[in-house]
């Protein structure tokens, strides 16, 4: 936010050495995340994290010694990220924790306490924007609260350090790690809990302002949300058209929507918005859909906020020309940057299982934070006195935060060194389920390719475990073994079904009557006996509705997608505008 850096003080001399350490560590982690030739290991990440906590503890002692007059400086208090003492050291520490949190995700420690730091930062940004917009419903807040409750449980358990430590020096590593953990336990809990409590406090603040929408005003809210989604879709369509024209200026077929089509759709939405506005009385309040003389008091603030938001979007889109949005020269570069980031993040939604390294998200988080900090009193500075383009910029900014949130939540607890095997198993599982859904196979020979692939993946295990190229046992063993067992179960089912069909065909050829239950036979899925952690691995993902239902995805995890909100201000921008 624009106030993020306000009140930042100079760096005291006694903190300069610690600042140098964290700057070097941030550069090191930045280089490490760019090195695709070397896999991160949970052992290195956890040890680095403990070293960071040790330095943070030293900084806290320095500040407590320097500021003896500060109240409540007991062992269970910290001056790190203190508002009064905030300086560049705190900002660099936040960057380091963000990078380390993404490193924990990269090595498959998704359900560890440090891994929640990046997720909490994104949730914090979303809550700040919700609080600023004053346009949200229970559908927007419920998934956020559930996610915060999950993080609270993870922080409470704080079991990240209990990881397998194989190798010749396994015992020494475990002992050293345990010693460091005990020393840094208080500091770690204070930092993570402070971040969590800040988010919970922000959630409670916006929940307290939430007004319940009476049932007789619900139709107006539904229509306003639909209009707003349509307006945002127009803005996104103009963006996509301009982007693709830049790729090939001579190819008119690349234009998603013509300028005339956008204006036509805009006028239709304006007419619909005017119809909704006509249901207000002289005081500007919406009347009941059942009784025009009844004016419910609850929900008026939310409805009028949505109405004003739609007017802002219409005003912004009305300035659009055939060359795209006509924005103030001062905010045009911001618009271009946000469009570029949003496009990259949307592409990652499709290719994340093959191309995304969670640490890559740090670059986009930092860029968004920089753009967000440019705002003054909630608006990007411009020469024009009106707020032309501000609504679209804020929409793009919030949508980028929402996509990052989804990417973080959809991360699998599998180390990047085993990601290739995980993707192959997921693809085989998807193919088998699709084949079964389409009726199965007529003979076992059609299943040979899947049997061979599963056998090759199964042969990669040594004593039931998957190893990385360096001989380590990465995170995600339970997930891979569960996927492998499930694929074998599905394959076994289909083999039985094929045998039944083949016997039925032979009986028909011999003039025998087939069994009566052939057509209705149901093969029950069997569960493997492994200690599978799929229940923890694949919870229903909750996020802002940024998934494009019209986009071709691999569909591997179609069964786990759950919309963040039926009426989120971050709805899909792919509404079919040609209907």
pLDDT tens by residue, 143-201: 889 889 999 998 887 744 444 444 444 556 566 666 666 666 777 777 888 889 889 99
- Report the pLDDT value the prediction gives residue 117, as an integer from 0 to 100: 92
Question: Within a domain: residue 553?
Answer: no
Question: Within a domain: residue 288?
Answer: yes
Question: Within a domain: residue 561?
Answer: no
- Report the pLDDT value the prediction gives residue 231, as an integer from 0 to 100: 85
pLDDT in tens, 25-82: 999 999 888 888 888 888 889 899 989 998 998 888 888 888 765 555 555 567 777 7
- Indicate if 63 and 191 belong to the same structural domain: yes
| Paired residues of 541 in beta bridges | 561
Rounded CA-CA distance 426/484 in Å is: 9
* Residue 434 token pair: 């699709």
- Report the pLDDT value the prediction gives residue 23, as an integer from 0 to 100: 95
Domain count across the chain: 3
- Report the pLDDT value the prediction gives residue 519, as an integer from 0 to 100: 47
- Report the pLDDT value the prediction gives residue 565, as an integer from 0 to 100: 40
- Indicate if 227 and 288 belong to the same structural domain: yes
The secondary structure of the chain in percent helix, strand, coil, rounded to multiples of 5, reads 60, 5, 35
- Report the pLDDT value the prediction gives residue 513, as an integer from 0 to 100: 54
- Indicate if 120 and 185 belong to the same structural domain: yes
- Indicate if 131 and 194 belong to the same structural domain: yes
- Indicate if 252 and 302 belong to the same structural domain: yes
Question: Within a domain: residue 243?
Answer: yes
Residues of the chain with pLDDT under 70: 1-9, 68-77, 159-184, 211, 236-259, 319-326, 385-387, 511-579
Q: What distances in angstroms separate CA 406 from CA 233, 489, 534, 547, one per listed residue? A: 20, 31, 19, 9
Question: Within a domain: residue 322?
Answer: yes
Q: What distances in angstroms separate CA 78 from CA 59, 155, 188, one per listed residue? A: 10, 17, 10
The domain boundary residue, chosen from 266, 299, 326: 326
Q: Tell me which residue of 141, 152, 142, 151 sits closest to 119, measured CA to CA.
A: 151
- Indicate if 322 and 340 belong to the same structural domain: no
Residue 465: domain span: 416-532
- Indicate if 28 and 154 belong to the same structural domain: yes
Residue in the block written with tokens 């600023």: 132
Q: Are 238 and 339 in contact (CB under 8 A)?
A: no
The domain boundary residue, chosen from 326, 356, 391: 326
Rg of the chain (C-alpha set): 28
- Indicate if 105 and 175 belong to the same structural domain: yes
- What pTM was computed for the model? 0.74
Rounded CA-CA distance 52/233 in Å is: 44
Question: Within a domain: residue 551?
Answer: no
- Indicate if 465 and 523 belong to the same structural domain: yes
Rounded CA-CA distance 125/402 in Å is: 9
- Indicate if 230 and 196 belong to the same structural domain: no
Question: Within a domain: residue 541?
Answer: no
* Residue 208 token pair: 């307290």
Helix (H, G, I), strand (E, B) or coil at 286: strand
The domain boundary residue, chosen from 326, 343, 359: 326
- Indicate if 320 and 238 belong to the same structural domain: yes
- Indicate if 222 and 203 belong to the same structural domain: no
């Amino acid at each position: 936010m624009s106030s993020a850096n306000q009140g930042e003080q100079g760096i005291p001399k006694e903190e300069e050495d610690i600042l140098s350490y964290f700057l070097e560590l941030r550069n090191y982690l930045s280089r490490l995340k760019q090195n695709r030739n070397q896999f991160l290991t949970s052992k290195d990440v956890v040890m680095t994290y403990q070293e960071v906590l040790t330095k943070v503890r030293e900084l806290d002692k320095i500040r407590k010694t320097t500021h003896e007059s500060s109240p409540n400086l007991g062992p269970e208090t910290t001056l790190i990220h203190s508002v009064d003492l905030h300086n560049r050291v705190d900002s660099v520490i936040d960057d380091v924790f963000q990078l380390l949190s993404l490193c924990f995700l990269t090595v498959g420690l998704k359900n560890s306490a440090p891994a929640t730091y990046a997720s909490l930062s994104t949730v914090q940004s979303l809550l700040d924007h919700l609080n600023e917009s004053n346009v949200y419903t229970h559908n927007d807040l419920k998934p956020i609260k559930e996610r915060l409750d999950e993080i609270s449980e993870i922080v409470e358990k704080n079991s990240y350090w209990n990881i397998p430590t194989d190798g010749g020096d396994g015992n020494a590593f475990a002992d050293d790690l345990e010693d460091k953990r005990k020393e840094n336990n208080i500091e770690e809990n204070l930092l993570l809990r402070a971040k969590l409590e800040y988010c919970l406090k922000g959630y409670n603040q916006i929940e307290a302002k939430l007004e319940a929408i009476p049932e007789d005003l619900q139709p107006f809210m539904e229509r306003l949300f639909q209009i707003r989604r349509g307006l945002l879709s127009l803005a996104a369509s103009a963006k996509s058209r301009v982007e693709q024209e830049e790729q090939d200026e001579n190819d008119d077929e690349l234009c998603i929507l013509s300028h005339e089509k956008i204006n036509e759709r805009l006028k239709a939405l304006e007419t619909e918005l005017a119809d909704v506005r006509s249901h207000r009385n002289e005081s500007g309040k919406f009347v009941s859909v059942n009784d025009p003389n009844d004016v419910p008091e609850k929900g008026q603030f939310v409805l009028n906020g949505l109405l004003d938001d739609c007017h802002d979007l219409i005003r912004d889109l009305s300035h659009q020309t055939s060359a795209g949005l006509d924005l103030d020269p001062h905010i045009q570069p911001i618009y271009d940057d946000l469009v570029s980031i949003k496009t990259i993040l949307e592409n990652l939604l499709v290719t994340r299982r093959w191309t995304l390294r969670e640490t890559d998200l740090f670059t986009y988080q930092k860029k968004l934070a920089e753009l967000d900090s440019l705002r003054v009193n909630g608006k990007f500075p411009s020469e024009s006195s009106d707020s032309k383009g501000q609504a679209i910029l804020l929409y793009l900014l919030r949508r980028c935060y929402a996509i990052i949130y989804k990417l973080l939540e959809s991360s699998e607890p599998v180390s990047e060194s085993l990601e290739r095997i995980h993707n192959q198993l997921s693809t085989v599982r998807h193919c088998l389920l699709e084949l079964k859904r389409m009726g199965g196979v007529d003979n076992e020979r059609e299943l040979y390719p899947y049997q061979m692939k599963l056998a090759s993946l199964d042969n990669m295990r040594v004593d039931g475990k998957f190893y990385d190229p360096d001989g380590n046992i990465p995170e995600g063993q339970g997930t891979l073994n569960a996927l492998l067992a499930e694929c074998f179960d599905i394959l076994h089912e289909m083999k039985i079904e094929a045998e039944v069909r083949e016997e039925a065909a032979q009986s028909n050829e011999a003039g025998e009557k087939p069994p009566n239950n052939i057509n209705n036979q149901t093969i029950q899925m069997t569960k493997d006996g492994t200690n599978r952690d799929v229940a923890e691995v694949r919870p229903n993902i909750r996020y802002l509705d940024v998934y494009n239902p019209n986009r071709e995805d691999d569909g591997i995890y179609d069964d786990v997608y759950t919309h963040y909100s039926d009426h989120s201000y971050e709805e899909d921008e792919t509404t079919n505008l040609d209907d």
